[in-house]
Chain A
Amino acid sequence: MKQITASGQSVEEAVQAALEQLNASRDQVEIEVIDEGKKGLLGVFGSKRSIVKISLVKDPIEEAQRFIEDVTGKMGIDVQVATQVNDRHVTFDLQGDKIALLIGKRGQTLNALQYLVQLFMNKNKKHYYTVMLDAQGYRQRRKETLEVLAARMAEKSVRNKTKVALEPMPAFERKIIHMALQNDDRVTTYSDSIDPHRHIVIEAK
């Protein structure tokens, strides 16, 4: 991390001087005031200059984008990354030729990368980000598949008056199933067992 100290007649002036030196804007840096300084008598006697320490912080979103490009590039898959930020929720949409290879069976490769990107973004950071990795509309297609599956399994559960256990899924996919069936008053849904084997159970009432 790049950091410099600068001084000026006032804190404000010191900050300005530092920003000019780093060629950065205020939202790219962290400011630490080391000495407030003193005006002194008539601005001449006993005056002390203000000293500030300025550190250049890298934009975590840009860094994460570079991380994704780096890892996928080394996997032999070239992707274009489009980034969407919604407060603390960041979506990276990946586009490219061999995108199926990156999604993997039931999205497991995409989910693995998503987990690592989330770790990367939240390492030593003050703010917590949630990360979603999408690849050419995969998440939406998966959502539709899961909703169809949910409806079919609910039918089966009602027809046979039994519990139906689905295969293990990550939390955000289980949520899609819970949501899809929450208004179906013939069945209840819950999750059983612990990660990585946590899965949905649909039970007829």
Chain B
Amino acid sequence: MKALIESIVLPLVDNPEEVVIDETVEQNKVVYHLTVHQDDVGKVIGKNGRIAKAIRTLIYAANTDADKRIYLDIM
């Protein structure tokens, strides 16, 4: 899942070396925390959160583990 988030986010930002994705596993959810360079925040959120929403839609679709819901936090 982390690899999927990377494959989407890295090509969109100008500073791919500053992309950090943390994974926290809890009982019934997995939270991914995405941090990017200050100038790239807009590039992963988008106008009205449109990009963030598209990224979330894709990772929800890729989640095959029915017991664990996925969350994506940005910054």
Chain A interface (Cβ < 8 Å from any Cβ of B): 67, 70-71, 74-76, 101-102, 104, 108-109, 112-113, 115-116, 119-120, 123, 195-196
Contact = CB atoms under 8 A, between A and B. Distances in A.
Contacts of B61: 75, 101-102, 104, 109
B3 interface: yes
Interface of B: 3-4, 7-8, 11-12, 48, 50-51, 53-55, 57-58, 61-62, 64
Q: Which 7 A-B pairs have the closest CB atoms?
A: A112-B57, A112-B54, A74-B4, A75-B62, A109-B61, A70-B7, A115-B54
Contact of B58 (A67, A70, A109, A196): A109
B21 to A, nearest CB: 13
Residue of A74, A109, A119 with most partner-chain B CB within 10 A: A74
Main secondary structure of the interface of B (DSSP, over half): helix
A104 B8 CA distance: 18
A116 B48 contact: no
Given A120-B11, A123-B12, A196-B48, A75 B58 contact: yes
Main secondary structure of the interface of A (DSSP, over half): helix
A114 to B, nearest CB: 9
A65 B61 CA distance: 20
Nearest to A194: B48
Contacts of A115: 50-51, 54
